[in-house]
Amino acid sequence: MTRIGFAYNQKPEPESADAAAELSRADEEPPSSGASNGSATATLRAPAPAPDDEYAEWDSAETIDAVARALARHGEVIRLEARDDFPERLRAEQPDIVFNIAEGLRGPNREAHVPAICEFYGIPYSGSDPFTLALCLDKARTKEILRANGVPTADWALARDASDVERIVARGWGYLLFAKPVHEGSSKGITERNLAKGEEALRAIVLDLLERYDQPVLVETFLPGPEFTCGVLGNGASARVLPIVGMNFDSLPAGALPIYGFEAKWLWDRPENPLEIFSCPARIPETLRAEIEDVVLRAYAVLGCRDWSRIDVRLDAAGRANIVEVNPLPGILPDPADNSCLPKAARAAGLDYDALIGAALAAAAARQGVVLGSVA
């Protein structure tokens, strides 16, 4: 039987001491909006303490169990949590292939560590390679590659320190700007207050993000149009875009900005009161669908994505599709009640959760000549 290693990082359970400490720290940094003017925003905010976003990228036990169940249809699953002992355990187990969803422990190249270790031991693995994972975790470098290859993305500047901030502010951009930490995902550090209206606001936001996230800050022109996210499955000529997910910003609390940031992902979307934020397939004209798919597949190719990804797109003031960012390790919450774009797009294409995981695994296996079993 095929032996499938399964690499992941599991979120600490709330009852664990560490997590409790993290949650109690959350009050120091409420991710609430300074920009919103709506009182409805305040009343709709969850009564529970705001979660600290440190572990926002890691997966829950529920997701990990669901992926393990899906993988078990194709072989024996060997769980390899990506902790400090991962290299030794991987080396000892020698699986035929590793299915990788590990977000990594530390540093701006954290998503690249598990694939790099697999490569070191010559063990096949799923998903993008260390280079692409590290590249896509640097949103500025990603944009350089996109721009160099003619794939549309918003104009930007990178602030590494306070003097950069002054240089960027002095440019006098004259339009709305959006700032975000350059190396994060899951909307860590992306709240409504990141939209800068004017020089003073820009300076304050960028200096604040530099200090709190201890990494450069990407300043981009704000893309004012509708937002979409696209799941991609497969490789080379057979890479395909799943039905496009459109964001219904009307579902956000009154007065909220039309962005899918920390508040929308983690505060306003509660199991007891879910946001109806996605529509899939997005109701858009055929020409726009074709344009978005083209831009997304070009981004996937030039960045070297493999097997699967989720790619965010927004329209600029002229209505043209621009890449916002690329997620080669996409979020995959299993419960259809949860707002998770890739599983949702897959369902719209007729692929249930197990079929989605199976498709990513099959794409990885085919590329590397690994034969998968079929377990009854």
**Torsional sign, CA 197, 199, 205, 210:** positive
CB 310 within 8 A of CB 356: no
Nearest distance, CB of residue 225 and ligand ATP, angstroms: 9
Given the structure tokens 């790619």, which residue do they identify?
311
Given the structure tokens 């169990």, which residue do they identify?
65
Burial of 17 (0-12, 13-18, 19+ CB in 10 A): exposed
Please identify, using beta-carbon distances, which residue of 56 and 67 lies nearer to Mg ion.
56
Nearest distance, CB of residue 340 and ligand ATP, angstroms: 10
Q: Specify the DSSP element, H or E, that contains 279.
A: strand 278-279
184 is an interface residue for Mg ion by CB under 5 A = no
Nearest distance, CB of residue 256 and ligand ATP, angstroms: 11
Nearest distance, CB of residue 190 and ligand ATP, angstroms: 5
Please identify, using beta-carbon distances, which residue of 225 and 304 lies nearer to ligand ATP.
225
**Torsional sign, CA 44, 47, 49, 55:** negative
Distance, CA of 10 to CA of 57 (rounded, Å): 9
Question: What does 129 bind: ligand ATP, Mg ion, none (CB cut-off 5 to 8 Å by kind)?
Answer: none
Each residue 246-265 as x (binds Mg ion by CB under 5 A) or -, in order, gives --------------------
Binding site for ligand ATP (CB under 6 A): 154, 178, 180, 184-188, 190, 220, 222-223, 227, 259-261, 312, 314, 324-325, 327
Nearest distance, CB of residue 72 and ligand ATP, angstroms: 28
Residue type for position 371: V
Please identify, using beta-carbon distances, which residue of 180 and 306 lies nearer to ligand ATP.
180
312 is an interface residue for Mg ion by CB under 5 A = yes
Nearest distance, CB of residue 325 and Mg ion, angstroms: 5
Please identify, using beta-carbon distances, which residue of 342 and 346 lies nearer to Mg ion.
342
Alpha carbon 67 to its chain centroid, in Å, reads 17
Question: What does 314 bind: ligand ATP, Mg ion, none (CB cut-off 5 to 8 Å by kind)?
Answer: ligand ATP
Alpha-helical runs (H) found in 231-285: 262
Nearest distance, CB of residue 369 and ligand ATP, angstroms: 32
Please identify, using beta-carbon distances, which residue of 53 and 129 lies nearer to ligand ATP.
53
Distance, CA of 358 to CA of 346 (rounded, Å): 12
Please identify, using beta-carbon distances, which residue of 2 and 309 lies nearer to Mg ion.
309
Please identify, using beta-carbon distances, which residue of 233 and 259 lies nearer to ligand ATP.
259
Question: What does 306 bind: ligand ATP, Mg ion, none (CB cut-off 5 to 8 Å by kind)?
Answer: none
Distance, CA of 113 to CA of 320 (rounded, Å): 35
Tabulate helix, strand, coil % of the chain (nearest 5).
40, 20, 45
220 is an interface residue for Mg ion by CB under 5 A = no
Beta strand 76-81 pairing with 3-8 = parallel
Of the candidates 96, 97, 99, 100, the one whose C-alpha atom is nearest the C-alpha of residue 113 is 100
Question: What does 222 bind: Mg ion, ligand ATP, none (CB cut-off 5 to 8 Å by kind)?
Answer: ligand ATP
Give contact residues for Mg ion (rule: CB under 5 A).
Answer: 312, 325
